[in-house]
Structure 1
Amino acid sequence: MNTVTTVDDFVQLIADGLGLPVTAEDVDRDLDQIAGWDSLHLLWLVTALERQTGRSVPMVELLRARSLGEIYAAVTS
Protein backbone atom coordinates (compact mmCIF):
# COMPACT_ATOMS: atom_id res chain seq x y z
CA MET A 1 0.00 0.00 0.00
CA ASN A 2 2.91 2.40 0.64
CA THR A 3 3.22 4.35 -2.58
CA VAL A 4 5.44 7.03 -1.02
CA THR A 5 8.71 5.15 -0.96
CA THR A 6 11.11 7.70 -2.41
CA VAL A 7 11.65 11.44 -2.13
CA ASP A 8 10.51 11.71 -5.74
CA ASP A 9 7.21 9.96 -4.84
CA PHE A 10 6.79 12.37 -1.93
CA VAL A 11 7.47 15.44 -4.07
CA GLN A 12 5.12 14.18 -6.77
CA LEU A 13 2.35 13.69 -4.20
CA ILE A 14 2.75 17.31 -3.09
CA ALA A 15 2.99 18.69 -6.62
CA ASP A 16 -0.02 16.72 -7.89
CA GLY A 17 -2.19 17.03 -4.80
CA LEU A 18 -1.52 20.61 -3.84
CA GLY A 19 -0.56 22.05 -7.18
CA LEU A 20 2.61 23.51 -5.67
CA PRO A 21 5.57 23.70 -8.04
CA VAL A 22 7.95 21.70 -5.82
CA THR A 23 10.86 19.56 -6.96
CA ALA A 24 13.39 17.34 -5.21
CA GLU A 25 15.61 20.43 -4.91
CA ASP A 26 12.99 22.01 -2.62
CA VAL A 27 13.05 19.18 -0.07
CA ASP A 28 15.71 20.77 2.14
CA ARG A 29 14.36 24.32 1.94
CA ASP A 30 12.66 25.81 4.95
CA LEU A 31 8.87 25.51 4.60
CA ASP A 32 8.50 29.28 4.59
CA GLN A 33 10.67 29.32 1.45
CA ILE A 34 8.27 27.04 -0.45
CA ALA A 35 6.13 29.25 -2.68
CA GLY A 36 2.51 29.09 -1.61
CA TRP A 37 3.07 26.79 1.41
CA ASP A 38 0.82 27.31 4.43
CA SER A 39 -0.41 25.33 7.42
CA LEU A 40 -3.46 24.06 5.53
CA HIS A 41 -1.12 22.30 3.14
CA LEU A 42 0.33 20.38 6.07
CA LEU A 43 -3.15 19.16 7.04
CA TRP A 44 -3.82 18.03 3.49
CA LEU A 45 -0.42 16.33 3.35
CA VAL A 46 -1.05 14.41 6.57
CA THR A 47 -4.34 13.10 5.20
CA ALA A 48 -2.80 12.19 1.84
CA LEU A 49 0.18 10.45 3.43
CA GLU A 50 -2.01 8.41 5.77
CA ARG A 51 -4.17 7.39 2.83
CA GLN A 52 -1.14 6.50 0.68
CA THR A 53 0.81 4.63 3.36
CA GLY A 54 -2.07 3.07 5.26
CA ARG A 55 -0.63 4.13 8.62
CA SER A 56 -0.81 7.02 11.05
CA VAL A 57 1.59 9.90 10.65
CA PRO A 58 3.57 11.12 13.70
CA MET A 59 1.91 14.53 14.17
CA VAL A 60 4.35 15.84 16.79
CA GLU A 61 7.28 15.30 14.42
CA LEU A 62 5.41 16.88 11.53
CA LEU A 63 4.52 19.96 13.55
CA ARG A 64 8.19 20.36 14.45
CA ALA A 65 9.38 19.85 10.88
CA ARG A 66 10.97 22.87 9.23
CA SER A 67 11.33 21.37 5.74
CA LEU A 68 9.69 18.91 3.40
CA GLY A 69 12.72 16.68 3.97
CA GLU A 70 12.01 16.56 7.69
CA ILE A 71 8.38 15.69 6.97
CA TYR A 72 9.48 12.94 4.59
CA ALA A 73 11.92 11.56 7.17
CA ALA A 74 9.22 11.49 9.85
CA VAL A 75 6.83 9.63 7.57
CA THR A 76 9.33 7.08 6.29
CA SER A 77 11.15 6.29 9.54
Structure 2
Amino acid sequence: MTSIDDFLVLVHDEIGLTIGPEHADLPLDQVPGWDSMHLLALLSALERETGRPISLPDVLEARNLHEIHEVAVRA
Protein backbone atom coordinates (compact mmCIF):
# COMPACT_ATOMS: atom_id res chain seq x y z
CA MET A 1 0.00 0.00 0.00
CA THR A 2 2.30 2.72 -1.21
CA SER A 3 0.10 4.76 -3.51
CA ILE A 4 -2.70 7.06 -2.43
CA ASP A 5 -5.05 5.04 -4.67
CA ASP A 6 -4.19 1.82 -2.80
CA PHE A 7 -4.73 3.67 0.46
CA LEU A 8 -8.17 4.89 -0.63
CA VAL A 9 -9.13 1.33 -1.62
CA LEU A 10 -8.09 0.21 1.88
CA VAL A 11 -10.24 2.96 3.42
CA HIS A 12 -13.18 1.77 1.34
CA ASP A 13 -12.64 -1.91 2.07
CA GLU A 14 -12.03 -1.51 5.80
CA ILE A 15 -14.45 1.29 6.66
CA GLY A 16 -16.96 1.09 3.85
CA LEU A 17 -16.73 4.72 2.77
CA THR A 18 -17.24 5.41 -0.90
CA ILE A 19 -14.45 7.87 -1.56
CA GLY A 20 -12.13 8.79 -4.39
CA PRO A 21 -9.02 10.85 -4.99
CA GLU A 22 -11.10 14.02 -4.79
CA HIS A 23 -11.65 13.32 -1.07
CA ALA A 24 -7.99 12.81 -0.13
CA ASP A 25 -7.26 16.46 0.61
CA LEU A 26 -10.59 17.39 2.19
CA PRO A 27 -10.60 18.06 5.93
CA LEU A 28 -11.67 14.84 7.62
CA ASP A 29 -14.93 16.38 8.84
CA GLN A 30 -15.87 17.02 5.19
CA VAL A 31 -15.24 13.46 3.97
CA PRO A 32 -18.69 11.97 3.30
CA GLY A 33 -19.64 9.57 6.08
CA TRP A 34 -16.48 10.12 8.15
CA ASP A 35 -16.62 10.04 11.94
CA SER A 36 -13.93 9.86 14.60
CA MET A 37 -14.39 6.12 15.17
CA HIS A 38 -13.22 5.52 11.62
CA LEU A 39 -9.80 6.85 12.57
CA LEU A 40 -9.16 4.02 15.03
CA ALA A 41 -10.43 1.38 12.62
CA LEU A 42 -8.25 2.84 9.88
CA LEU A 43 -5.19 2.91 12.14
CA SER A 44 -5.67 -0.78 12.97
CA ALA A 45 -6.13 -1.65 9.29
CA LEU A 46 -3.01 0.29 8.33
CA GLU A 47 -0.92 -1.46 10.96
CA ARG A 48 -2.23 -4.83 9.79
CA GLU A 49 -1.58 -3.94 6.14
CA THR A 50 1.92 -2.54 6.65
CA GLY A 51 3.00 -4.95 9.38
CA ARG A 52 4.39 -1.99 11.34
CA PRO A 53 3.17 0.14 14.21
CA ILE A 54 1.93 3.57 13.17
CA SER A 55 2.15 6.57 15.47
CA LEU A 56 -1.27 7.41 16.90
CA PRO A 57 -0.17 10.98 17.77
CA ASP A 58 0.95 11.53 14.17
CA VAL A 59 -2.34 10.17 12.82
CA LEU A 60 -4.30 12.38 15.22
CA GLU A 61 -2.45 15.43 13.89
CA ALA A 62 -3.35 14.58 10.29
CA ARG A 63 -5.91 16.96 8.82
CA ASN A 64 -6.98 14.78 5.90
CA LEU A 65 -6.69 11.32 4.37
CA HIS A 66 -3.65 12.31 2.34
CA GLU A 67 -1.76 13.19 5.53
CA ILE A 68 -2.81 9.90 7.17
CA HIS A 69 -1.45 8.12 4.09
CA GLU A 70 1.84 10.00 4.44
CA VAL A 71 2.13 8.93 8.09
CA ALA A 72 1.46 5.31 7.13
CA VAL A 73 4.02 5.12 4.33
CA ARG A 74 6.81 6.70 6.36
CA ALA A 75 6.17 4.46 9.40
Common topology (TM > 0.5): yes
Offset of 1:16 from its aligned partner?
1.4
Please give the alpha-carbon distance, in whole angstroms, between the structure 2 residues aligned to 1:24 and 1:35: 13
Instruction: Select 2:41's aligned residue among 8, 33, 44.
Output: 44
Offset of 1:38 from its aligned partner?
0.8
2:60 is the counterpart of 1:63:
yes
2:15 is the counterpart of 1:18:
yes
TM-score between both structures, scaled by the size of structure 1:
0.91
Offset of 1:5 from its aligned partner?
1.2
Q: Give the CA RMSD over aligned residues.
A: 0.7
The runs of 5 or more residues in structure 1 that have no matched partner are none
TM-score between both structures, scaled by the size of structure 2:
0.93
Describe the SS at the equivalent of 1:70: helix
Offset of 1:18 from its aligned partner?
1.1
2:69 is the counterpart of 1:72:
yes
